[in-house]
Amino acid sequence: MVRRRPSIFVVVSLLLLALILFLAPADVGQKLSLTVREGLKPGLLAIVLAREAWPKYQPVDHSPQLASLEEEVGQLRQKLQAARAEAIRLQEQVTEQQQYVQFPFRAEKSEILVLPELVTARVLSQPLQQAWKNELLLDAGGNSGVAESHWVLSSNNSIFDLGEDHSVQQEDLVLAGRVIVGRVSQVGHWSSTIQGVTDEEFSARARLIRQVGQQYVTGADGLLIGTGEGHCQLTLVNNEEVVHVGDEVYTVPEESPQGYPLYFGKVVRAELDGGSLEWTIDVEPAVQQTRFTQVEILRQKMNPHRMLAN
């Protein structure tokens, strides 16, 4: 036997009630209406009170927590890159030491001539960059006979607040922790511009590093170039080399300060077309310069111990 749904029963009952009210005499219909209203009043009152007592929804602003978490993630990523760089350096040091195991003589160590030095710089905000380029802040310098470089003021690249006054030079690397943001492009008296790693004119020697278990395996060397489209390409990698998506891209040892490799980014596409002599490798940079308000400039300075020795 098929049971009728309660909803259909309610609808039919309401229709019958409406029909009775419609067909009944006026005085009877009025009495029935009052009776129905009185019967429904407790339920309606309960609904109204429940709605008033129900707490109103107020959206919670999670922006501060999200900003704090993003900053924490950024700091952890920098620590991770530093740990990886240290592991690579130590592994190469062990390999170097192993080469001398069978050799009875050791070379005497000497002081290095040039030392790397980091100096913190602040990237100017867009409004401040615009005011700087329009020379609205340069009256004092102009009156003193010192003007900012035309090449800095006319550049479309990001500007940071150090220049010749802090011994900044063209080609100095611009870093965020151990990650390469780009290099110094134009140097003015007080400010300089950043050429990002994705800029079409950017190029640097780079090396593939792959983590296998607890060890880091050195891969092929190549030339990292910017594409102008938000990513880089690693070129000049022979088709006989092993390349995988996910491989890390670092500076070559000769261009790594004190042997600590600096990080460019990760391989996101690696293809080898039939008959091609080189891999096609796309690299996603670890950072974009527009995301940073503070960077570090890697300068070179004379070793003071060598200078004192003379």
- Per the document, the length of the chain is 310
Cα–Cα distance for residue pair 248/180, rounded to 1 Å: 13
Q: What is the dihedral of CA 196, 201, 202, 204, to 10 degrees?
A: 180
Q: Is the pLDDT of residue 144 over 60?
A: no
pLDDT for res 108: 76
Check residue 68 and give its pLDDT: 79
> Does the predicted model carry a pTM greater than 0.75?
no
Instruction: Give residue-wise pLDDT tens across range 205-221.
Output: 999 998 887 788 889 99
Beta bridge partners of 196: 182
Residue 10: pLDDT over 60: no
pLDDT for the residue 76: 78
Confidence of residue 18 (pLDDT cuts 50, 70, 90): low
Task: Determine the pLDDT at residue 2.
Answer: 47
Q: Which residues fall within 8 angstroms of residue 238, CB to CB, at 6 or more apart?
A: 220, 277, 278, 279
Average pLDDT across the chain, whole number? 78
Q: How confident is the model at residue 88 (pLDDT cuts 50, 70, 90)?
A: confident
Identity of the amino acid at 191: S
For 41, 182, 285, 298, the CA distances from 196, given in Å and listed in that order, are 72, 4, 10, 15
User: Model confidence over 291-306: pLDDT tens digits?
Assistant: 678 899 998 888 887 7
With a cut of 50, say whether residue 145 has pLDDT above it: no
pLDDT in tens, 103-142: 566 667 788 888 889 999 999 888 887 877 776 555 544 4
For 269, what's the count of Cα atoms within 13 Å in the CB-facing half-sphere?
9
Q: How many angstroms separate the CA atoms of 298 and 279, rounded?
A: 31
**What backbone phi and psi angles, to 5 degrees, belong to 193?**
-110, 155
Contact call for residues 158 and 129 (beta carbons, < 8 A): yes
Please give the Cα distance from 265 to 267 (Å, whole number). 7
C-alpha distances (whole Å) from 21 to each of 25, 40, 94, 128, 265 are 8, 16, 98, 77, 79
Decide if 210 contacts 217 (C-beta within 8 A).
Answer: yes
Q: In the chain, how many H helices and how many E strands?
A: 7, 12
Q: Is residue 232 within 8 Å of 197, Cβ to Cβ?
A: yes
Write the pLDDT tens digit of every residue in 178-211: 899 999 998 988 889 999 999 999 999 999 998 8
Q: Which two tokens stand for residue 21?
A: 């009210």
Q: How many Cα neighbours within 13 Å face the side chain of 172?
A: 30
The residues, any chain, with a CB within 8 Å of residue 2's CB and separated by 6 or more, are none
Q: Which residues contact 10 (CB under 8 A, 6 or more apart)?
A: none
DSSP state of 247: -
Average pLDDT over residues 66-88: 75
Is the CB of residue 167 less than 8 Å from the CB of residue 203? no
Which comes out higher in pLDDT, residue 40 or 91? 91
Amino acid residing at 11: V
Q: Domain residues of the chain, as ranges?
A: 6-50
Q: For residue 15, give the 3-state DSSP assignment.
A: helix
